[in-house]
Structure 1
Amino acid sequence: MTYPLWALILIGLAGIGLLLLLIIRFKMQAFYALILTSIVVGLVAGLPLTTIPATDTDPEQLGVIQAIIAGVGGTLGSVAVLVALGSMLGKIIELSGGAEALSGTFSRLLGPKRVGMALVIAAGILAIPVFFDAGFIILVPIIFAFSKVAGLVPITFGLPVAGIMLAVHVAVPPHPGIVGGATILGADVGWITIIALLISIPIAVLSYLVAKRINRREFPMLEATREMFENFGTEKSSINAGLKEGEKAPGTGTVLFLILLPLVLIMLGTAVAPAFPAGSFANGLLAMIGQPIFALVVAIGAAMFLLGARRGWSAAKLGEVMESALPAAATIILVTGAGGAFGRILTETGIGGAVAEALTATGMPVILAAFLISLILRAAQGSATVAISTTAGLLLPAVAALELGPVNTALVAVAIGYGGLGLSHVNDSGFWIVTRYLGLSVKDGLRTWTPLTTILGVAGFLITAALFIVIPAGV
């Protein structure tokens, strides 16, 4: 069945509407909702019930289920391994007390008057290997401790810390949304890492400054949080900093080394390997070392020794710590894969191509469309991972048609990531974690956290768009 351009776009919009309805109104689990929507959209758009083999005149046409399988498989080929390894590294750092070491050292170096900026720097670094929700909860004891010493409420230090952590989470690999989006678009993870890390520096400063301005206004603390805050440091405290009695936090240098090690290896493969002739030993070696999977395997091996074995952890405990990272990672992996399936359906049905043609007709630059579509999806259903992977699938035909170079393709992926940063509100689990621990009501959360994430998302996009305009398309 062949549909006109406008009909394909309407089917695509209806599919996205159905997805949002299932997730938001009926509280359906995101993985199942994505697979179900993919089936419905594929059937309505005219995909065959089963694969039609290629003939002398026509190429093979995938059936609905076969297209979904291909989309999941194509996305998870690298995403599953990256997310699982990244979760393991983050969990070892988390349970070893690395967060406390990192934030404590930066606070001492910058002094009591600059504690807020010190915590933002520490949080930005910690957020690279640790997922947002877990990373923020790890830092809550540090936020509470410094707030009590300074005689301030937790939101003073907690708001900018949460802002930079979420900004890193949506744009810097190995976090699942950006890795999934990169896989769908065929973007280079190394270039995404370099670009997003550089942009994260001004974003960290902006998070600190915007939060400081927001905090000029006094926000009443929820009674439950007030009680938790007042009891902090006493036997009544329910917040666990992660270290067991008698255990000592690792040195800050060790934690920094483990976080930066995979990033340095990835950058070697991206920036240094091309300097050597293709096919040479040096080129091949550096290219392999720079693969994100290899870099994370090396970093985890180093963490197992430096944070585990050298500090007295048994092999059994190390295994338990790494195993404990996988259940949460599994859910994220499946949702990312389902996002890839939805993207494949949109491509196979021609909906993605129709969207690309419509975007071309409006004259809207693909970099702007990348940000706006992701932002709208993020606001509508709450999950940055779903927003990023779905947007990447929608824009894949448009990006492919432009024949962009690796750097500009990476910039499109980063723009999608920053779209997933903004407009965090009540349908986002991160909204509830931040507001609960900082003692904000829903109304005050919408006045503080939602504007902060949106400002940071827009700022990240503007920097990304400027780079996209300046750098030639073929680069």
Structure 2
Amino acid sequence: MTLPLPALIAIGVAGLGLLLLLIIRFRMQAFYALILVSIVVGLAAGLPLKTIPASGDDPERLGIIEAIIAGVGGTLGSVAVLVALGSMLGKIIELSGGAEALAGRFTSWLGPKRVGIALVIAAGILAIPVFFDAGFIILVPIIFAFSKVAGLNPIKFGLPVAGIMLAVHVAVPPHPGIVGGATILGADIGWVTVFALAVSVPLAVLSYLVAKVINRREYAMIEATRELFAEFGSEEASANVGLRDGEKAPGAFTVLALILLPLLLIMLGTAVAPVFEAGSFWNGFLSMIGQPIFALMVAIAAAMFFLGVRRGWSAAKLGEVMESALPGAAVIILVTGAGGAFGRILTETGIGGAVAEVLVSSGLPLLLAAFLISLVMRAAQGSATVAISTTAGLMVPAVAALGLDPLHTALVAVAIGYGGLGLSHVNDSGFWVVTRYLGLSVKDGLRTWTPLTTVLGVAGFLLTWVLYAAIPMG
């Protein structure tokens, strides 16, 4: 028996409220909280306790647990592989000294007067394969080194660097939040990559300019960071930071090529393969190499050789580096799968359809609703991955009801990603990473980092909306 629309909406809102309460107030682990709330919502909305087989004109009705299993399995089919492979590629680049090489090269190209711009460009590229927290921490010694040479507070260089790195992290595959959200929505990862990269370029410029305005004011450095910064030796910090046992950093061009290689392959599959006739060799070949999983496999193989074997890493060390990427990725993979389970429950109960009906009747544009829901979820519980996955689950019925083509479905996913960028504050681990390394108090972090992420999130959404409106619906 289907509940009335107001009752379904009320159950959905109560479910979201319970999820936020468990995560924020009771500090419950996000994976467990999502599965628990999925069960509660399923029970409240009247899903059967056990799957009811189809009979006559009545379709099969999944039971609560079966729906959760289907949601997790459907989401993780590709997400788990993508996130694991992306983590491995990022870890190889991270531990090889590639970040230092990239930052140093861009600085030498643009000159000492444009160090800030060079670091933003290098950070934006590095952020594609490397997770935000790890990538920013890798660049901190470089930020400190240039800041000491220039006689500036590290926030001058560090704030715009952190801004563009987080903007890339929430919207560009293979990062887990956007991969999970796109998979839940059924969006093409290739188009998501193309659109998110296109939007990231102006966001890099905006991060630099907005941070420059914010930095007109001087901010006192907290004592712990002041001591760390005072003891930091610029010569040692700027030379092969993080390398061990006499290793030398790889060439910047090598690192750049390894980061761009999977993106190039994905774009070939997305934009070039359709030019050839379906069923032809070139259509099939380009489609295969353009699959994100295949593209990342190729990039990892190249990284293993050029950053590992060629530079003297033993097979054992290479294996250890790649293995070290998996524990952190595992938690993210599970949370993403739980987000898929929650989305499946919302679909099976009819709550997602009720949300879609309300959106259509209210006149609120789908893209705006997707962005706002993600933004509110991000502000409420802190995790961009949880915000993106949960919002994607909510928007599935609306996207299906409108019959969006692959390009516009991908843009919905990107808009949800940028919702997960804004309003970073004290419940976000990234907030603490940035503020502590840059020496900001909580009050100053809310004056600087929170506005910067919000401006970038809104700008990313508006640029996505322009693309959504400009591209004809297929």
Shared topology, TM-score over 0.5?
yes
Deviation per CA, 1:100-127: give whole Å up to 9, x if none: 0000110111111110010000000000
Q: Give the drift of 1:241.
A: 2.9
The 5 Å alignment of 1:410-421 reads 410-421=410-421
Question: Structure 1 residue 2: deviation in Å?
Answer: 2.4
Distance (Å, rounded) in 2 between the aligned partners of 1:360 and 1:234: 58
**Runs of 5+ consecutive residues of structure 1 not aligned to the other structure:** none
Deviations 1:393-423 (A, max 9, x none): 0010000111111111111000000000000
Report the equivalent of 2:275: 275
Q: Which residues of 2 match residues 228-267 of structure 1 at below 5 A?
A: 228-233=228-233, 241-267=241-267
**1:36-51, aligned counterparts within 5 Å?**
36-51=36-51
Q: Report how far residue 389 of structure 1 moved.
A: 0.7
> Aligned partners of 1:4 and 1:216: how far apart in 2?
55
* CA distance in 2 between partners of 1:208 and 1:250 (Å): 27
- Partner amino acid, structure 2, of 1:159: L
Question: Which letter does structure 2 place at the counterpart of 1:157?
Answer: F
- The alignment's C-alpha RMSD in Å is 1.3
| Aligned residue number for residue 188 of structure 1 | 188
Deviation sequence 1:249-292 (CA, Å, 0-9, x none): 00000000100000000000000000000011110000000000
Q: 1: distance between equivalents of 2:234 and 2:121?
A: 28
- The correspondence of residues 98-137 of structure 1 with structure 2, limited to 5 A, is 98-137=98-137
Identity of aligned residues (%): 82
Mind listing any 5+ residue stretches in structure 2 that lack a counterpart? none
Contact 2:146–2:234 (8 Å) recurs in 1: no
What's 2:31 paired with?
Answer: 31
How do residues 328-339 of structure 1 correspond to structure 2 at under 5 angstroms?
328-339=328-339
What is residue 68 of structure 2 aligned with on the other side?
68
Aligned length: 473
The 5 Å alignment of 1:436-475 reads: 436-474=436-474
Asked if the contact 1:162/1:434 (under 8 Å) is kept, the reply is yes
How far apart, in 2, do the equivalents of 1:318 and 1:432 lie? 31
Q: How far did 1:234 drift?
A: 8.1
After TM superposition, the structure 1 stretch with the greater mean CA deviation from structure 2, 225-234 or 277-286, is 225-234
Rounded Cα–Cα distance in structure 1 between residues aligned with 2:432 and 2:240: 19
How far apart in 1 are the matches of 2:43 and 2:473? 36
- Change in Cα spacing, 1:236 to 1:253, as seen in structure 2 (3 Å) is closer
In structure 1, C-alpha distance between the alignment counterparts of 2:20 and 2:213, rounded to whole Å: 34
Shift of residue 240, structure 1, vs aligned partner: 9.6
Using the size of structure 2 for normalisation, the TM-score is 0.98
Q: Which residue of 1 aligns with 2:426?
A: 426
Deviant stretches of 4+, over 6 Å: 234-237
* Mapped partners of 2:433, 2:241: distance in 1: 16
1:156 counterpart = 2:152 = no
Distance 2:222 2:96 in 1: 31
- 1:172 maps to which residue? 172
Is 2:224 aligned against 1:227?
Answer: no
How many Å separate the matches in 2 of 1:91 and 1:172?
Answer: 17
Letter aligned with residue 269 of structure 1: G
Paired residue secondary structure (2:56): coil
Amino acid paired to 1:75: T
Give distance in 2, aligned partners of 1:2 and 1:367: 28
Deviations 1:36-80 (A, max 9, x none): 110101111110001111111211100000000000000000000
The amino acid that maps onto 1:391 is T
User: 1:181–1:413: 8 Å Cα contact kept in structure 2?
Assistant: yes
Q: Residue type matched to 1:121 in 2?
A: I
Shift in Å at residue 469 of structure 1? Answer: 1.1
Distance between the aligned counterparts of 1:389 and 1:236, measured in 2? 42
Q: Is the 8 A contact 1:141 1:240 kept in 2?
A: no
> Could you tell me how far apart the structure 2 residues matched to 1:92 and 1:466 are?
36
Contact 2:144 2:234 in 1 (8 A): no
* Matched residue, 1:290: 290
